[in-house]
């Protein structure tokens, strides 16, 4: 029994990479997330530029944030994909083969998170830059003739922030699916926490701590990184992002604990 | 070599596996026999570390499965036909498993050819038939060229040709000194394949023996006698340890005596025998005898 034949974290990473790229649905879904982000950003940029030229909107921070606002749609797609790469193993029974090969279990979770997180970071950061440049070009060519560049204050942070935010969404989805295991339930939890919870809390009357609570919710905290210009109802960009990261880390640790203890 | 000591698994108030202690030795096929729900699959999953024992322990080749640094080289397992993703090709499925152990791609192609899936290796596995899916599971089992093989109900979904093939595979593997542990609820199937039997019912061990001994112990042979003097012969044969069932006016079913003893008794008492036949119990009957 030599280590030359044994299971190592690096080998498990390779295995998870093979799994990720060998599903056609995964490749398509990632492509849809990237393309929809760019496409929606271009559409929103065009519409925003028109409103500015009509005098219905101020340019302001929107010049930086509007082109990458398609990330809102992308987070749903990334969240669903993150759920599927884990829950698909449970629903198909592959999980037993996977864990028989990696009986210590945690290396598989770390590898899944690392491989999917890195893929999302690379894909969506690229998409974010493309969306930004395309959106700015559209606004620049519009009658309003306005645009921002990466050197505009906050712009680089926002554009890079999209990739970072979506990476945390990806890791959150992987963790939730590891905890919940069933596809539909895991998607409901991910969408519920990221999208529905902020909406519900925003319905609370402001004097009932509505805004105070709202800023600390996971997706609102994370979205602080994606704002340009002064914000009154959100955490500061990096504080918010770190808080979102802590939520995700906590969820991931819970997932690891349950993965180790449970039967499969 | 698989060694279980007091292996127990409870689910809530129900005990699925209750203090199983057994050893599965290399070089032979060992059958793991019991009706559905007897705890066979749970035991197999505990051997692989997929389910946690509530008490007791089980080791494979000397240590718990999860403590092997190259588990696929120690144990190959066929647990379910559909342990793969429908959207992934057979090759990619095995390639990912192989990658965890640094097993090269050519070994993946090799086992796919060995199980007869070479031609469909790069198609979506969702399109495979039940039998082909089972073969893919067997390919995964063989991937690490393991010393110990674990098969849970392997003939399910296989056509007759496939059944013969997997029997020969198991026997061949055992002949090369490997440990082969195969579960089934089909007793006839076990008789074809296994040399030894570990028999469980409702989670408890009821036999750990050779197939022949199991039959003998469970339900010894009975003798059927046909004679016009059935009533009288019945009285003559009666004695301690002898059970006689009257099947018809001229037909008796005798337990506790051999056909030799009955034949001699008939000659001695001038009884006309029309028929004297030894009835060996089927495995099913033997099993019912032990578990009821």
Provide ipTM, 2 decimals: 0.91
Q: Is the pLDDT of residue A44 over 70?
A: yes
Q: Quick one: tokens of A146?
A: 């306005």
Does the CB of A101 have a partner CB in chain B at under 8 Å?
yes
Smallest Cβ–Cβ distance between B84 and the set A3, A92, A101 belongs to A92
Best mutation target among B47, B85, B93 (most A Cβ atoms within 10 Å) is: B85
- Architecture of the domain spanning B2-216: 3-Layer(aba) Sandwich (3.40)
Q: How confident is the model at residue A1 (pLDDT cuts 50, 70, 90)?
A: very low
Structural domain for A83, as ranges: 3-261
pLDDT mean over B47-70: 95
- Architecture of the domain spanning B219-291: 2-Layer Sandwich (3.30)
The whole-angstrom separation of Cα B90 and Cα A66 is 44
In the DSSP assignment, the letter for residue A33 is H
The whole-angstrom separation of Cα B201 and Cα B204 is 6
The whole-angstrom separation of Cα B20 and Cα B18 is 6
pLDDT tens digits for range A148-174: 999 898 999 999 999 999 999 999 999
Q: How confident is the model at residue A109 (pLDDT cuts 50, 70, 90)?
A: very high
pLDDT tens digits for range B177-192: 999 999 988 877 888 8
Of the candidates A193, A181, A172, the one whose C-alpha atom is nearest the C-alpha of residue A117 is A172
Number of domains forming the structure of chain A: 1
Q: How confident is the model at residue A2 (pLDDT cuts 50, 70, 90)?
A: very low
Does the CB of A203 have a partner CB in chain B at under 8 Å?
no
Q: Is the pLDDT of residue B281 over 80?
A: no
What average pLDDT is seen over chain B?
91
Chain A residues within an 8 Å CB radius of B95: 18, 22
Of the candidates B61, B81, B34, the one whose C-alpha atom is nearest the C-alpha of residue B182 is B34
Name the residue in chain A with its Cα closest to that of B66. Answer: A103
pLDDT mean over A34-58: 91
Q: Quick one: tokens of B171?
A: 């026997």
Name the residue in chain A with its Cα closest to that of B99. Answer: A15
Q: Is the pLDDT of residue B245 over 70?
A: yes
Smallest CA–CA separation between B137 and chain A, in Å?
9
B160-175 vs B130-142: helix axis angle to the nearest 10? 10
The whole-angstrom separation of Cα A30 and Cα B174 is 47
Of the candidates B82, B80, B203, B204, the one whose C-alpha atom is nearest the C-alpha of residue B153 is B80
pLDDT mean over B224-242: 90
Q: What is the domain partition of chain B in residue ranges?
A: 2-216, 219-291
Out of A91-95, B63-67, B184-188, pick the least confident: B184-188
Chain A residues within an 8 Å CB radius of B111: none
pLDDT (0 to 100) of residue A259:
97
Element (H, E) at B24: strand B14-24
Q: How confident is the model at residue A211 (pLDDT cuts 50, 70, 90)?
A: low
Out of A24-33, B62-71, B107-116, B251-260, pick the least confident: B251-260
pLDDT mean over B164-168: 93
pLDDT (0 to 100) of residue B212:
79
The whole-angstrom separation of Cα A51 and Cα B290 is 85
């Amino acid at each position: 029994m030599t280590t030359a034949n044994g299971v190592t974290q690096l080998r498990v990473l390779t295995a998870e990479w093979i799994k990720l790229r060998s599903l056609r649905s995964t490749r398509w879904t990632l492509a849809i997330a990237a393309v929809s982000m760019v496409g929606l950003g271009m559409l929103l940029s065009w519409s925003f530029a028109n409103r500015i030229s009509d005098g219905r909107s101020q340019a302001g921070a929107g010049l930086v944030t509007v082109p990458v606002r398609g990330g809102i749609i992308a987070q749903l797609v990334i969240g669903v994909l993150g759920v599927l790469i884990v829950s698909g193993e449970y629903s198909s029974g592959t999980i037993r083969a996977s864990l028989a090969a990696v009986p210590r279990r945690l290396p598989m979770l770390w590898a899944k998170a690392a491989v999917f997180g890195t893929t999302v970071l690379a894909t969506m950061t690229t998409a974010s830059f493309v969306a930004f440049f395309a959106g700015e070009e559209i606004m620049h060519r519009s009658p309003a003739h306005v645009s921002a560049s990466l050197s505009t204050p906050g712009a680089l942070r926002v554009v890079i922030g999209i990739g970072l935010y979506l990476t945390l969404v990806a890791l959150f989805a992987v963790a939730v699916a590891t905890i919940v295991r069933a596809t539909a339930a895991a998607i409901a939890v991910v969408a519920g926490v990221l999208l529905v919870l902020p909406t519900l809390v925003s319905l609370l009357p402001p004097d009932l701590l509505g805004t105070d609570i709202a800023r600390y919710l996971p997706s609102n905290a994370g979205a602080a990184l994606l704002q340009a210009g002064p914000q009154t109802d959100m955490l500061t960009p990096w504080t918010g992002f770190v808080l979102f990261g802590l939520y995700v880390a906590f969820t991931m640790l819970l997932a690891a604990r349950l993965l180790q203890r449970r039967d499969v | 070599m698989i060694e279980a000591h007091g292996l127990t698994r409870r689910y809530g108030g129900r005990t699925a596996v209750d203090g199983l202690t057994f050893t599965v030795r290399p070089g032979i096929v060992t059958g793991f026999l019991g009706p559905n729900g007897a705890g066979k699959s749970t035991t197999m999953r505990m051997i692989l570390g997929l389910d946690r024992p509530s008490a007791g322990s089980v080791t494979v080749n000397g240590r718990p499965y999860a403590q092997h640094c190259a588990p696929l080289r120690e144990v190959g397992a066929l647990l379910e036909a559909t342990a793969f993703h429908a959207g992934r090709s057979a090759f990619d499925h095995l390639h990912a498993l192989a990658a965890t152990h640094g097993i090269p791609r050519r070994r993946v192609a090799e086992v796919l050819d060995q199980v007869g899936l070479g031609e469909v290796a790069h198609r979506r596995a969702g399109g495979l038939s039940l039998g082909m899916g089972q073969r893919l599971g067997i390919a995964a089992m063989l991937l690490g060229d393991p010393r110990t093989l674990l098969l849970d109900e392997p003939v399910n979904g296989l056509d007759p040709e496939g059944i013969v093939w997997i029997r020969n595979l198991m026997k061949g593997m055992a002949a090369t000194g490997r440990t082969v542990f195969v579960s089934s609820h089909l007793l006839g199937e076990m008789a074809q394949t296994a040399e030894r039997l570990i028999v469980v019912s409702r989670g408890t061990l009821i036999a750990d023996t050779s197939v022949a001994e199991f039959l003998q112990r469970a339900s010894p042979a009975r003798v059927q006698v046909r004679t016009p003097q059935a009533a009288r012969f019945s009285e003559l044969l009666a004695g301690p340890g002898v059970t006689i069932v009257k099947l018809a006016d001229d037909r008796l079913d005798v337990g506790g005596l051999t056909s030799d003893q009955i034949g001699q008794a008939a000659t001695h008492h001038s009884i006309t025998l029309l028929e004297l036949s030894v009835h060996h119990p089927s495995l099913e009957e033997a099993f019912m005898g032990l578990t009821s």
